Amino acid sequence: MNSEYKKQLQHLFERWADEPMNAMTALPAHGSDRRYFRISGPTKKAIGVYNPDLKENIAFLSFSKSFRNNGLNVPAIYEQELDKHIYLEEDLGDTTLFDFLSREREKNGFSNALIKVYEKVVDTLPLFQVKAAAHIDYTVCYPRASFDRQSMMWDLNYFKYYFLKLAKIPFDEQALENDFTTFVDFLLSSPRDYFLYRDFQSRNIMLHRDDVWFIDYQGGRKGALQYDLASLLYDAKADIPQKVRDHLLERYLESLSKLIPVQRERFLQYFQGFVFIRIMQALGAYGFRGFYERKPHFLKSVPYAIQNLERLLHNVTLPVEIPALINAWSKLVRSSYLRTLGDSQLKLTVRIESFSYKRGIPWDEKGHGGGFVFDCRSLPNPGREEAYKTLTGNDPEVIAYLEKHKEVDTFLAHTTALIDHAVRNYQSRNFTDLMVAYGCTGGQHRSVYCANRLAEHLRKNFDVTVMLRHREQEMKTSA
């Protein structure tokens, strides 16, 4: 059969090009049954596609026509023979956005040049979702006409059976099913009358003729605006920095507002929920291809997806009660095994906090439930002296006072040594979060000073992200 569809593609090319074929080169397959070939003759070239899934072919070809008619950068369709499951499309070259991202970041980090490309992408996305959506024939959508309850439950069960179970993450199945229903009810309450690209991520965006071009939208259907943006910004291995994500989100909303009225707060309320379901869909796909089909290269993206999940658990509170699902996510985040898959090198964030014992030890609700808490009350207390009562550990007078006492340096040397060991160990195991807290009587002098010293030490000696918080000082400022 392999040689048969190659012969058919050759005949199709020669009929379209009106010249003989010189070469046919197979292109890498990316987790589907579609087969791609670069075909060239003396003057013309094209991408030949064989896909045994007739309905998927019909959807892709129909969408391509609509997008081209609306001026969007998608490949031209040159020729097709649906009864033979083959067609020819425009050759957009070899450079995906992910290829460019990988090369550019290795040399220049997440550079302005890279951000500019992503800005083009988020400027274009609303044109697919809103402008072209009015001209789409949704009767050809496959396998569903919309991202509805059935589609969402498929994704959630894919995540449950092909990732949670195969990664041996324990869960209460009935409680999880109940939370799936609650979560889907929430997502279905968002506006969903737009075109949903379904797999809008860096490997499906090409760089061609100094512009961005788009491929692999055959799974498109009606759905919410937020899903495709979540797919792009939380594309696991692309690992977009959070500040860049925030910038691109605002850029997208600005572009979207040129086409339709945007209620920003309402949009954002649903956005994080769609980020979570997209991450679960991706993890299900990685589990199916990696654990079940035993294609280990698919597992290389898992640590990045876990990192994204961890950041969301730290920073996002969804407006629905889904304790079993959150518990499953938390177990994924705490899994040392999942972080070691592939060859990723994730960046560790150390969260440092000063606090008052009068208000209790800080509780790491969204992290690993571990880390260090150090009691500074054994150190000399400047707060007992009138000259320092209104000052804090940030002030030079208090710093000078504490620096005069040897026991302060000794205490810091001991705590720093423990933390240094933990940082090295966490980095070697691809952990991305460590919490350290220093407490004293009022959370004003000694704990603030020690937290500042540790932050300075870590920034100087390790490639880590340091987040520093003085809890009691924040409380005074907000009051």
- Let me know if residue 344 belongs to a domain: no
Q: pLDDT confidence of 363, banded at 50, 70, 90?
A: confident
Q: pLDDT confidence of 369, banded at 50, 70, 90?
A: low
Q: Is the peptide bond before 143 cis (omega within 30 degrees of 0)?
A: yes
Two tokens, residue 136: 């789409």
State how far the alpha carbon of 353 is from the alpha carbons of 280, 343, 433, 447, in Å.
Answer: 31, 32, 14, 8
- Let me know if residue 31 belongs to a domain: yes
| Whole-number Å distance between alpha carbons of 333 and 287 | 16
Taking the CA atoms of residue 10, residue 15, residue 17 and residue 19 in that order, the dihedral angle to the nearest 10 degrees is 80
Q: Which residues pair with 208 in a beta bridge?
A: 211
Share above pLDDT 70 across residues of the chain, in percent, rounded to a whole number: 97
| Whole-number Å distance between alpha carbons of 100 and 85 | 32
What pLDDT is attached to residue 366? 59
Query: The tokens 């400047």 sit on which residue?
Result: 382
Do 165 and 255 share a domain, yes or no?
yes
Which of 36-50, 271-285, 427-441 shows the lowest mean pLDDT across its residues? 427-441
Do 417 and 434 share a domain, yes or no?
yes
Three-state SS for the chain is CHHHHHHHHHHHHHHHHCCCCCEEEECCCCCCCCEEEEEECCCCEEEEEECCCHHHHHHHHHHHHHHHHCCCCCCCEEEEEHHHCEEEECCCCCCEHHHHHHHHHHHHCCCHHHHHHHHHHHHHHHHHHHHHHHHCCHHHCCCCCECCHHHHHHHHHHHHHHHHCCCCCCCCHHHHHHHHHHHHHHHHCCCCCEEECCCCCHHHEEEECCEEEECCCCCCEEECHHHHHHHHHCCHHHCCCHHHHHHHHHHHHHHHCCCCCCCHHHHHHHHHHHHHHHHHHHHHHHHHHHHHCCCHHHHHHHHHHHHHHHHHHHHCCCCCCCHHHHHHHHHHHHCHHHHCCCCCCCCCEEEEEEEEHHHCCCCCCCCCCCCEEEEHHHCCCHHHCHHHCCCCCCCHHHHHHHHCCHHHHHHHHHHHHHHHHHHHHHHHCCCCEEEEEEEECCCCCHHHHHHHHHHHHHHHHCCCEEEEEEHHHHHHHHC
- Let me know if residue 159 belongs to a domain: yes
State how far the alpha carbon of 382 is from the alpha carbons of 246, 377, 469, in Å.
Answer: 41, 11, 21
What pLDDT is attached to residue 368? 62
| Whole-number Å distance between alpha carbons of 473 and 78 | 66
Query: The tokens 């991305």 sit on which residue?
Result: 432
What pLDDT is attached to residue 430? 83
Do 141 and 260 share a domain, yes or no?
yes
| Whole-number Å distance between alpha carbons of 371 and 367 | 9
- Are the beta carbons of 73 and 92 closer than 8 angstroms? no
For strands 35-40 and 23-26, give the pairing.
antiparallel
Q: Is the pLDDT of residue 479 over 60?
A: no
pLDDT (tens digit per residue) in 301-320: 999 999 999 999 988 999 99
- Are the beta carbons of 66 and 135 closer than 8 angstroms? yes
Number of structural domains, the chain? 3
Q: Is the pLDDT of residue 33 over 90?
A: no
Contact partners, residue 218, CB within 8 Å, separation at least 6: 56, 57, 59, 60, 63, 142
Q: Is the pLDDT of residue 362 over 80?
A: yes
Do 38 and 125 share a domain, yes or no?
no
Do 393 and 269 share a domain, yes or no?
no
Q: Is the pLDDT of residue 60 over 70?
A: yes
| Whole-number Å distance between alpha carbons of 179 and 158 | 15
Do 474 and 450 share a domain, yes or no?
yes
- Let me know if residue 453 belongs to a domain: yes
Two tokens, residue 348: 């560790």
Q: pLDDT confidence of 4, banded at 50, 70, 90?
A: very high
Do 321 and 205 share a domain, yes or no?
yes
pLDDT (tens digit per residue) in 170-226: 999 999 999 999 999 999 999 999 999 999 999 999 999 999 999 999 999 999 999
- Let me know if residue 372 belongs to a domain: yes
Which of 23-37, 65-79, 445-459 shows the lowest mean pLDDT across its residues? 23-37
**Across the chain, what does the average pLDDT equal?**
94
| Whole-number Å distance between alpha carbons of 124 and 129 | 9
Nearest to 67 by CA among 158, 17, 130, 112: 130
Do 323 and 378 share a domain, yes or no?
no
- CATH for 28: 3.30.200
What pLDDT is attached to residue 212? 98
What pLDDT is attached to residue 429? 85
Q: Which residues pair with 40 in a beta bridge?
A: 23, 45
94: region left, alpha or beta (phi > 0 left; psi from -120 to 50 alpha):
alpha
Q: Is the pLDDT of residue 1 over 70?
A: no
- Let me know if residue 249 belongs to a domain: yes
- Let me know if residue 230 belongs to a domain: yes
Looking at 339, 372, 406, which one is the last position of a domain? 339
- Let me know if residue 450 belongs to a domain: yes
Do 134 and 22 share a domain, yes or no?
no
| Whole-number Å distance between alpha carbons of 88 and 75 | 10
Residue range 362-379: average pLDDT?
82
Do 151 and 290 share a domain, yes or no?
yes
| Whole-number Å distance between alpha carbons of 454 and 412 | 8
Looking at 89, 110, 139, which one is the last position of a domain? 89
What pLDDT is attached to residue 306? 93
pLDDT (tens digit per residue) in 61-106: 999 999 999 999 999 999 999 999 999 999 999 999 999 999 999 8
Do 115 and 245 share a domain, yes or no?
yes
Q: Is the pLDDT of residue 254 over 60?
A: yes
Nearest to 431 by CA among 364, 348, 368: 348
Q: Is the pLDDT of residue 37 over 70?
A: yes
- What angle do helix axes 112-126 and 242-256 make, rounded to 10 degrees? 30
Looking at 321, 339, 357, which one is the last position of a domain? 339
Question: Could you list the residue range(s) of the whole structural domain that residue 190 is in?
Answer: 97-339
| Whole-number Å distance between alpha carbons of 97 and 109 | 15
- CATH for 159: 3.90.1200.10
Residue range 471-479: average pLDDT?
77
Q: Which residues pair with 356 in a beta bridge?
A: 440
Do 85 and 101 share a domain, yes or no?
no
